[in-house]
Every structure is written in structure tokens, then in C-alpha cells.
Amino acid sequence: MLGPELINLTARPTPIFLEGSAAIQLTQQAAKDLGLKDGQIVQGVIAARGDLLKLLINNKELEWPGSSRFKLGDKLDFRLDSSIFGRSLVPIRGLTTSPGNTPPAIPSPALLQLMHRPDQPSVLAGLFKSGGIEALAAQLGGSEQLRASLMLSMAKLSMEKLSPMSVKRGLSNSGLFGEQLLASGVVRQGPDLKQLLRSLLRNAPLQSAIGAELKGAIDEVESKQLESLQAQQSRELSYSFVLPFMDANAVEIELYREASNSAAEDQEWIINLHTESPSLGELWLKTTLQSAASIQMVMWAPRVDVADRAREAASELQYELQRFGLTLEKLDVLNARRPSASEGLSGSGQMVDLST
């Protein structure tokens, strides 16, 4: 997924993900009982409990369907991840030690850095804030052709004329699928965002601030590629990307669907949006698509006047959604910043809204 630039960083193929092995969902209390912190890597061991094989982590037994695929004494690595969807122990590597087994290849430092990239503000969103493209082009000086390619790519995305097709095109060009399409022999009409960023980086002065920013943006895309691949291994769908606009600040988008279940006809999709508008301030929106036509929404707006305006516009939003055959079952507008899953929630006077 990461392209030819990382091929030479590993001496042999690296079994990073455990195919078909789902992550282990944990409550905040369960993570605390295990003595784990966000981002921590911990080793588990397959142990016998009667006729069944179980996963033991820090001497505590966990239910994990993947245990049956291994044998007694096998050891595996997991990482505690936190996101808006909660905490989970994610298998990050194949067998690390097992009697009689050949030790696996060790992931390259570059790959490990992408896998364990800490939560931070989006570099891409900052790069493509209003006026950011022009500022970027100015700093790169003579790369007029690259500037024209970037401007042409972004010009197709307008907040004022936003449509489902433009969002689909933005996802396709987000950089998440470039290597996959290349391997499939699909010919693209133009370069995707990651390719453009790499071209710009090659034209950036060495050891420059803009070069570091472009490198950070590329790392962000590749980290999201790994997250998407990891979700696929758990039979989930998860895509995180940034949609840049010519007439507005960029919007961060997350699309998520839980692991497929053949018994369920309708599966929930979660759509998370985050942006910062010069006129409205910072905004978050969580949309839950409960069926083909039923949705619920939660909006976070730190500014009181913006939250009030959103509540007043609820009926208009409901009407607009009905035009597309969608029923707005519920809309909650919260006058606050959206809480982060990594923030402490145990202090006096703090609350957790379990409904969202």
C-alpha cells in the first residue's frame, strides 16, 4: 500500500497484520484493569483453558476468536488504540516467539513509525486551509507545472457546489488507493493527492519548513492507508481522508462500518466530519446511517451563537434530507468541543455522553 519508496526498507516480507483476526474491543475500565495506556504495545500468549485455547494478556484472560487459529504457547503483539469508536487491542504482528518457529521479519523503522503515529492535528487540513494552496505554491517558487496540477485537482472541489460525485472523486483521489490501482493496472486520469505531494516534496528546498510539512502530510496519508488495511483485516471498513476545497477550509472525513455480519441486512455506517471555518469556528458532526433511509446526527459547536443557529436550522435540514429520501430521526447540537477518546474522563464534574 505504501508504494515502491518503502520496498528497500525491509529485507523480506513483513507479516504485520493477522489476516482475518479482529481487534478486541475494550472498555475504558478493562484497559485500566490490564494496566494499558493508549498506543502501548503488549504481548499476549495463547494458553489452554480446558479444551479451549484462550488469549492471556498480563495474566488476564480475554475472549478473542482468533485464538483458535494458533497453538498453545504462541505469542503475539497487540497495540492499544483509541479512537472515536472506543478502545481496542489491535493485532499488529504475527508470531513473535514460538518453539520451533523461525523468528519473523521485523517491520522497518519507517513502517513502525507510521503504524504508531500519535494522534495529532491533521497536517493535510492545515496545508489546505483557505489560501493554503496559494501560499504553498509561492514557497515552492519555480514549480509552476506542479502548481497548475495541484490547483486543477483542487478546483474540482467547491464547497458551494458540493455534490455526492465530488465527494466520491475526492475519496478516490485522496491517496488511499494509488498503489492498489497501480497494481490493478487501472489508468488514472490524473495523479492522486499523495502523488502530487511527493512531486511537490521533490521540488521543495532541502531541510526547509515547507519540505517538513509536505513530508508530514505524506506520512499522514500513508498512516491512514495502514489503518484502512488493518480494518480490512478485521473485516471492517474504515477510510479517513481530507477533502480540500478551493473556496473553504479543508474537511476531515472518517467513514466507518463495523465487521460484516451476514445475519444483518442493514449495517450502521458512521460518518465523522471535522473542519474549522473562519466564520463559524471549529465544528464536528457525527452522522449514523442506521438503515438505507434513517439517520441520526450529533453536532459539536464550541461557539454559542453557532450552536443556536444550528438548532434553529434543524427543520430546514430535515426538509433537505427528505428530498433525498432520508429521514432525520434525531439531531443533537452540543455547545462544546467534541471530547477525545484519549482524554481523561475520571475527574470530578466530568461526564460521558453515552448516547453518542
CA distance 138 to 143: 9
Angle, CA of 174, 158 and 170, to the nearest 5°? 15
DSSP of 304-320, one letter per residue?
HHHHHHHHHTHHHHHHH
CA distance 89 to 263: 25
Residues in the chain: 356
Cell digits for 139?
514557497
HEC assignment per residue over 124-142: HHHHCCCCHHHHHHHHHCC
Q: What is the pLDDT along the chain (356 residues), one digit of tens a residue?
A: 444 334 333 333 333 334 445 678 787 778 888 888 777 888 888 888 777 788 888 888 887 877 777 788 888 888 887 765 567 787 875 544 444 444 445 566 777 777 777 778 898 888 888 766 667 767 766 556 555 556 555 556 778 888 888 888 888 888 888 887 777 666 666 668 888 888 888 878 888 888 888 899 999 999 999 888 888 777 788 999 998 887 888 999 999 988 765 545 567 899 999 999 889 999 999 999 987 789 999 999 999 999 999 999 999 999 989 988 889 999 999 999 998 754 433 333 444 444 44
Domain ranges, ordered by start, for the chain: 4-115, 123-278
Pairing of strands 327-334, 294-300: parallel
**pTM exceeds cut of 0.75:** no
Residue ranges with strand state E in the chain: 24-26, 41-49, 52-57, 60-62, 75-83, 86-97, 237-243, 251-257, 269-277, 281-289, 294-300, 327-334
